[in-house]
Amino acid sequence: MDILLIGSGGREHALAWKLTQSLHCDELYCAPGNAGIADVAACVSLDIMDNGAVVDFCREKEIDFVVVGPEQPLVNGLVDALDAAGIPAFGPTQAAAQLEGSKAFTKELCAQYDIPTAAFARFNNAPKAKMHVRQQMSVGGAPIVIKADGLAAGKGVVVAHSVEEACEAVDACFEGAFGEAGAEVVVEEFLEGEEASLFAICDGQTAMLFGTAQDHKRVGEGDTGPNTGGMGAYSPAPVLTQELIDEVMTEIIVPTLAGMHARGHPFRGVLYAGLMLTAEGPSLIEYNTRFGDPECQVLMPRLKSDLVELMLASAQGSLLELPEAEWDTRTALTVVIASRGYPGSYEKNTVIAGVEDAEKAGALVFHAGTSHKDGKLLATGGRVLNVTGFGGSVGEAQKAAYDGVAKIRWENGFTRSDIGWRAIEREKAGG
């Protein structure tokens, strides 16, 4: 099959790397791709938010299957456009992608199907939202969580520690800080616990567990400082024991699929559950309707099964006919190397060397914001490289990843030095 992959991040490099290992993958194209993806796929410059342009390209190249990496084209209805053109694709339709595209939609579904999640209320105007905030905080105290309803690239969430802070966040949403995404606001109860992620590949009716992971969203050591897209991740997440995984599948994932099916929007693609492991059990923080970035950079290296077969079965509704996905039992850990200044502003087009040395040392290097110019590798984005290592424990995988990082020579780059710390502390404590 000739396959088109949509996206340009580290997630898509990991997907491209895995897709080309499939017996079913003939030619792989990637739109728009990056310098690392160009080593394994033919990169094409297409506007991935222009559904018509993507469909035209697929017709011209006789593409047999499309894999969508990021959320924006999903919420923009790319899979619907491909469906209408008779081109099979991996990923949810626009209606099913509401699980990521609208927090209020997901909250209503959880309420209807008794899926554990933080108590919530939704508002389309500031005065009512603030009345609710004051009332809730007078009973439950701080903190409280304020969220813009729509897609806000991870920036639309404020954990407010005072009524003033909460009201400011409400105003910011309605004043357009997140554009359209803030036209509705969700006010949530604050959940306490450790965060972890679970992935399930779904075909509309059936959900198959597709690995667990933990990421580090904050830019600074010890999970401090501003939020980023993710500075590193590891898989599996030891905190998600088999018992907890079973509980999440039964109480959260399966009822979600049933609910989406009943609403006439069967969910196909990968469902990424962001969970809070509270004292009362796992609770859903949010859904994403695509792979995580950088979680994908630790999931793909561990996957032993044929990715194209699984994705095709997801699109065609035949997951039940496949055996459970097989995984390397070792831990994979990835460290993001970002441009100095990220998640704020940063210099572009600085020169990177040593990627091959890191690979020779045994690490996998997935590119995010890179391009080639005059034989040199240039950093063109905030998150630039992902260096993935393997080990028998999170500690060993961390060492392998940082050994790879040490080989890379890039003055304008930085990493966190503590990716995996929570799990490693637990390993050291013997638990």
Name beta bridge partners: 68: 6
Any residues with CB less than 8 A from the CB of 244 and at least 6 apart, and which? 277, 282
First-to-last C-alpha distance (Å) of the chain: 46
Between 89 and 423, CB nearer to ligand AMP: 423
CB of 232 to ligand AMP, least distance (A): 15
Q: Give the CA-trace dihedral at 246, 270, 119, 235, to 10 degrees.
A: 60
CB 76 within 8 A of CB 101: no
Q: Is 191 in the site for ligand AMP (CB under 6 A)?
A: yes
Q: Does 195 bind ligand AMP (CB under 6 A)?
A: yes
List CB contacts of 299: < 8 A, sequence separation 6 or more: 14, 199, 210, 211, 213, 235, 291, 332
Q: How far is the CB of 338 from ligand GLY (least distance, A)?
A: 13
Task: State yes or no: residue 288 binds ligand GLY (CB under 6 A).
Answer: yes
Count the residues of the shown chain that bind ligand AMP, applying the rule CB under 6 A.
14
The distance of closest approach from Cβ of residue 69 to ligand GLY in the complex, given in angstroms and rounded to an integer, is 10
Interface segment toward ligand AMP; rule CB under 6 A; list 123-131, 183-191, 205-213, 301-309:
183-191
The partner in contact with residue 159, picked from ligand GLY, ligand AMP, none with C-beta cut-offs of 5 to 8 angstroms by kind, is: ligand AMP
Q: Is 154 in the site for ligand AMP (CB under 6 A)?
A: yes
- Give residue for tokens 């309605």: 174
Q: Which residues contact 248 (CB under 8 A, 6 or more apart)?
A: 198, 240, 273, 275, 282
Instruction: Kindly state whether residue 12 participates in binding ligand GLY, applying the rule CB under 6 A.
Output: no
**Is the Cβ–Cβ distance between 368 and 34 less than 8 Å?**
yes
Closer Cβ to ligand GLY, 184 or 295, answer by number:
295
Q: How far is the CB of 293 from ligand GLY (least distance, A)?
A: 5
Alpha-carbon distance of 119 to 189, in angstroms, equals 5
Q: Which does 295 bind (CB under 5 to 8 A by kind): ligand GLY, ligand AMP, none?
A: ligand GLY
230 is an interface residue for ligand GLY by CB under 6 A? yes
Q: Which is nearer to ligand GLY, 215 or 251 (CB)?
A: 215
Which of 207, 260, 275, 285 is close enough to bind ligand AMP by CB under 6 A? 285
Contact 256, 99 (CB under 8 A): yes
Write the interaction track for ligand AMP spanning residues 213-252; mark x where CB under 6 A is met and - where it is not: ----x-----------------------------------
Decide if residue 292 touches ligand GLY (CB under 6 A): yes
DSSP 215-261: E--EEETTTEEEE-S-SEEEES-TTS-HHHHHHHIIIIIHHHHHHHH
For the chain, give me the number of helices (H) and strands (E)? Answer: 15, 23
Structure tokens at 225: 């400082």
Q: Please, which of residues 197-226 interact with ligand GLY by CB under 6 A? A: 215
The one of ligand AMP, ligand GLY, none whose footprint includes residue 306, by CB under 5 to 8 A per kind, is none
Widest pairwise Cα distance in the chain? 63
Give the tokens for residue 307: 């990715």
118 is a contact residue toward ligand AMP (CB under 6 A) = yes
**Interface residues with ligand GLY (CB under 6 A)?**
215, 230, 288, 292-293, 295
What residues make contact with ligand AMP under the rule CB under 6 A? 118, 145, 147, 154, 157, 159, 188, 190-191, 195, 217, 274, 285-286
